[in-house]
Amino acid sequence: MGGYRSAVPLSRATSEALAARGVAVEPDFDLSTRAWWRVGGPADGFATVSSLDELVAVQEVAAAHDLPVFVLGNGSNLLVSDAGVRGLVLVLGGALAECEVLDDDARELRVGAGFKLTVLVSRSHRHGWTGLEVFAGIPGTLGGAIRMNAGAGLGETVEALVDAEVVLRGGEVRTFTVDELRMSYRTCHLPEGSIVARARLKTRGGDPDAFRERVKTFLERRKATQPLKFPSCGSTFRNPPGDYAGRLIEAAGLKGYTLGQAQVAEKHANFVLNLGGATASDLRRVIEHMQRTVHEQFGVELEREVHYAGDWSGWQP
């Protein structure tokens, strides 16, 4: 974990206030165990909430104690700093990671934001639900997918979402319709500091066998074209309008570019790999080198899809 000390330690009073509301905090939690890139330093505090009440309690205590809270989904779109995360890192479990059918013909589901999309897709397969293929191949949670408006070749999160129940900083619970969230390419307008607790999703009618076949073909194609042997966060950059980030990175001659143990994948230039033992700093340096080089050669600013998380204040480019 690199021996970093917390710049703003989680105070005992804050931990006790959380414990009094049923939320146990684990100090100095190694986040590299939770991040797909397998890098990142410690969280000052780490907690799992299992119900809406606990999530509300965290947001109330956080506002009262000026505690920064970072919600972690499956860590599949995050570069966590080697210095770790100051404040509390929160994961949604228990009732906030469950999937419930709301009507007789399973047209509507209520799904916890901590629920994994891979499980959602396999459950769709099993029950013959269609419409949720928008999540196929995305290794995140529903909360992360809403935050990112994640999508692959079979559609985007926005197409399956009815509304999302969100806990604002301070503890107010509000439901936002999909239109209110103004979701577009890999973005969603959630209020600052808010956390999605659960959401209603809609399934569609149609032929379940055709759905299963579509998903199978799609996943096979992805497996063949993506470098899945080493940890990555999938596509590092958004595609610029009318072009592909991967095409530009490859044309800039960056495939195979390596710094430390971080590498631009040979198989798919928009993927950055941890070959084993890379640091978050190595990965960030590679990412910024890609941005600089593509800008110098083609005048295009590549926008990151991957989020930087944690304390980057002492980072040296």
Write out the residues near ligand FAD by the rule CB under 6 A.
36, 70-78, 92, 113, 137-141, 143-145, 147-148, 150-152, 195-196, 232-234, 307
- Which of 71, 290 has the CB closer to ligand FAD? 71
Provide, rounded to whole angstroms, the least separation between the CB of residue 283 and ligand FAD: 13
Catalytically annotated residue among 15, 235, 284, 304: 235
Q: How far is the CB of 72 from ligand FAD (least distance, A)?
A: 5
Closer residue to ligand FAD, CB minimum distance, 107 or 118 = 118
Known catalytic membership, residue 12: no
Closer CB to ligand FAD, residue 181 or residue 233? 233
CB of 301: closest distance to ligand FAD in angstroms?
20
Question: Among 34, 38, 86, 186, which one carries the catalytic annotation?
Answer: 186
Residue 271, phi-psi category: left (phi > 0), alpha (psi -120 to 50), beta (remainder): beta
Q: What residue type is assigned to position 252 of the chain?
A: A
Residue 91's Cα: distance from chain center in Å? Answer: 12
Q: 70 and 85 in contact (C-beta within 8 Å)?
A: yes
Residue 114 CB, shortest distance to ligand FAD, in Å, is 7
Neighbour-count burial of 179, counting CB atoms closer than 10 A to its CB (0-12 exposed, 13-18 middle, 19+ buried): exposed
Min CB(53)–ligand FAD separation in Å: 16
205 sits in which H/E element:
none
- Nearer of residues 51 and 298 to ligand FAD, judged by Cβ: 51
- The DSSP symbol for 131 reads S
- Indicate if 186 belongs to the active site: yes
Nearest CB to ligand FAD, comparing residues 5 and 182: 182
Distances (CA, A) of 132 to 105, 116, 200, 294: 15, 12, 12, 35
Question: What is the gyration radius of the CA atoms in the chain, in angstroms?
Answer: 20
Q: How far is the CB of 218 from ligand FAD (least distance, A)?
A: 10
Nearer to ligand FAD, 166 or 294 (CB): 166
Distance from C-alpha of 143 to C-alpha of 199, rounded to nearest angstrom: 8
**Is residue 180 annotated as part of the catalytic site, yes or no?**
no
DSSP string, 11-65: PHHHHHHHHHTT---EEEEEGGGTSTTS---EEEEEEEE-SHHHHHHHHHHHHHH
Question: Alpha-carbon distance 315 to 83, whole Å?
Answer: 9
- List active site positions: 186, 235, 305
